Each structure stands twice: as C-alpha cells, then as structure tokens.
Structure 1
Amino acid sequence: MRPRDIGLISTFTAFTALGAQVAIPIGPVPITLQVLFVLLSGLVLGARLGFLSQTLYLLLGLLGFPVFAHLGSGFAVLYGPTGGYLLAFPLASFLAGMMSGRGKAIEMAGALLAIGAIYLLGWARLSLLIGPEKAFYLGVLPFVGVDVAKAVVAVLVANAVREALPEGRF
C-alpha cells in the first residue's frame, strides 16, 4: 500500500470521527454526519480504500479512541443500539465505492444501496433491543429524508473532487 493511500484512508477515518460528533439526539440513534463521510469515503476513494477507512474507524473506536457519537468508544457502543449501523459502515463504503466514477445516476443508486445496508444492519441490531416495529419507527424512518439528502451531497462532492483532480481520481 502506498503512503498516499494510508494518508487518504486516515483522512476519511478522521472525517467520519468528526462527523460522529455532530450529533442530534432524537432517540436511541442520533442524527450525525457519519453517513455523509461513509458515502464520501467510498465514492471518492473507491471500494477498497473506502472499506479500509471505515474499518479503521471501527477499530479505533474498539481500541478506546473516542471516535463514536458523543465521544463514545469501546465494545459497549458496538453492542448497544447504534452498533448495527456502525458495523455496516465498511460494507456501505464498499458498496458506494463499487459505483464510483460510473456517472451520477449510478453513484446515487450506489449511495442509496449503501444507506439501505446501514439501515438493514442497524435496524436488525436495534430490533433485538426494542423490537422490530419500534426499531423501524425510531431507527430507520426518521433518517430517510436526511440520509437521502446526504447521498445527494456525497455524489455532488465526489464528482467535484474528481473534476478538480488532474487525472480525475486519487
């Protein structure tokens, strides 16, 4: 792996950690900017590096670095109500990255697929704690509009970044 790749992975890991701190508590799952950076990591870096950036994010949180929402860390966060969403981040970044550079419509579809993966794993984990119906109403439904907006922003930003680069990509 090139030093440049390590720098890019680390940068998007840091962006995701910063996005976690922009948290609006609305129930067991807060609204954060993490999903925006998860999508961007895949769309900008591609599937492999995006996946690695989000895996590093989870690893840092497990090791006790306060990278999760509200400066949280440790296994308890991944075991708690938001654990399924967090564990889906590497997969979501990978899915978005698979569609990177294939046109805005395809990238948007990839971003929405990535969000769907986050919802599915997040809802499944939260369902174990509070039941499936309540988990849907508290852990999925309130986020749909906000996350679709994040997907639009991620696709636009990723395309702007690629256009600004001499070769069109990192």
Structure 2
Amino acid sequence: MKTKDLILVSLFAAITSIFSQISIPIQPVPFTFQILAVALSGAILGKKYGALSQVIYLLLGSFGVPVFAGFKGGFNILIGPTGGYLIAFPLAAYITGIFSKKKDCLNIFIGMFIGLVVIYILGMFQLKFILNLSYSKAFSIGVAPFLVFDIIKIFISSFIASQVLKKSRIKIQA
C-alpha cells in the first residue's frame, strides 16, 4: 500500500466518523449522514480501499473511540440494535467500488443503491433479533423512515463521486 492510499483510507475513515456525528437521534436508529461517507469511500477509493476505510472506522469504534453516532464507541454498539447497519458498511463500500470502475454516474448510483440495500438488510435483521421485533416492525422503524433521504444522499454522492473520479488523479484499485 502506497502512502497516498494509506492517507486516503484514513481520510475516509475520518470522514465517516465526522458524518456519523451529523445526526438526529431518533430511536432506535438515528438519522445520520454516514451513508454518504460509506458510498463515497467505495466509489472514490474502489472496492478494496473503500472497504478497508470502513473496517478501520469500525475498529476505531469497537475499541471505544467515540466515532459512532452520538459520540458513542465500544464493541457493545456493534452487537446492539444498530450494529447490523454498521457491520454492513465495509460490504457496501466494496460493492460500490465494484460499480465505480467506469466512473459514470449511473453505474456508481447502481453500486451505491445495492450497497444501501445490503446495509438495510443486515441492519434490519440485527434490529429485529436484538429487539425481538417482527420483520414488518423492524422495516417500519429501521428502513422506511430513512429510505427517501438515503436515496437522495446516494444520488448526490454518485454525482459527486463521478465528478471527483473524472477530474482527479485518484486511481481506483482493483
């Protein structure tokens, strides 16, 4: 890994940490801008480094660094009701990275959308099991309130990422 790649991976872990603090603390799942950071990390860094940036973010949080929403940290967050969403971040970034190779807005959006679906599925399942909810209740409190806003976020992110990729020297890693 080159120094430049290490810096970019670290930068996107930090960006995810910052975006997680831009939140509205509704319960049990807060509204945050983490999706924006996860999507951008996969699109701009590619599948390998985008996923790595999110693994670093999760490791920081699991070791107690207050990088999760509401300045929370600790392994208990990852095994709690909202942990499934967080655990899906590296996978979502990886999927987005697969689709970002062509650097066009539509492919990037498709990758981000599939990544978002993965985040919702893993998040909803963990929310359901930890809080002993029905699938419909888990969907209604863990997905439905966020769906429109998250699609808007990935639409904006796909445009930003395609422009950054077209105008920068960042090479997407395989």
Is the TM-score greater than 0.5? yes
Matched, 1:147 2:157: no
Task: Verify the 8 A CA contact 2:44 2:170 in the aligned structure 1.
Answer: no
Two-structure CA RMSD over aligned residues (Å)? 1.2
Q: 2 CA distance for matches of 1:35 and 1:63?
A: 22
Matched, 1:159 2:158: no
Aligned to 2:124: 123
Matched, 1:109 2:110: yes
Deviations 1:30-62 (A, max 9, x none): 110100000000000000000000000000001
Change (3 A) 1:70 1:168: closer
Deviations 1:5-35 (A, max 9, x none): 1100000000000011011122200110100
**Structure-2-length-normalised TM-score:** 0.93
Aligned to 2:70: 70
Runs (4+) of structure 1 exceeding 2 A deviation are 167-170
**Structure-1-length-normalised TM-score:** 0.95
Q: Which secondary structure state, in structure 2, belongs to the residue aligned with residue 100 of structure 1?
A: helix
Unaligned runs of 5+ in 2: none
Deviation at 1:168, TM superposition (A): 6.1
Matched, 1:2 2:23: no
Deviation at 1:86, TM superposition (A): 0.2
Q: Which amino acid aligns with 2:124?
A: W
Unaligned runs of 5+ in 1: none
Deviation at 1:80, TM superposition (A): 1.2
Q: Which secondary structure state, in structure 2, belongs to the residue aligned with residue 81 of structure 1?
A: coil
Deviation at 1:81, TM superposition (A): 1.3
Q: Which secondary structure state, in structure 2, belongs to the residue aligned with residue 71 of structure 1?
A: coil
Task: Verify the 8 A CA contact 2:108 2:162 in the aligned structure 1.
Answer: no
Aligned to 1:95: 95
Task: Verify the 8 A CA contact 2:85 2:122 in the aligned structure 1.
Answer: yes
Q: 2 CA distance for matches of 1:141 and 1:32?
A: 14
Q: 2 CA distance for matches of 1:61 and 1:110?
A: 26
Aligned to 1:41: 41
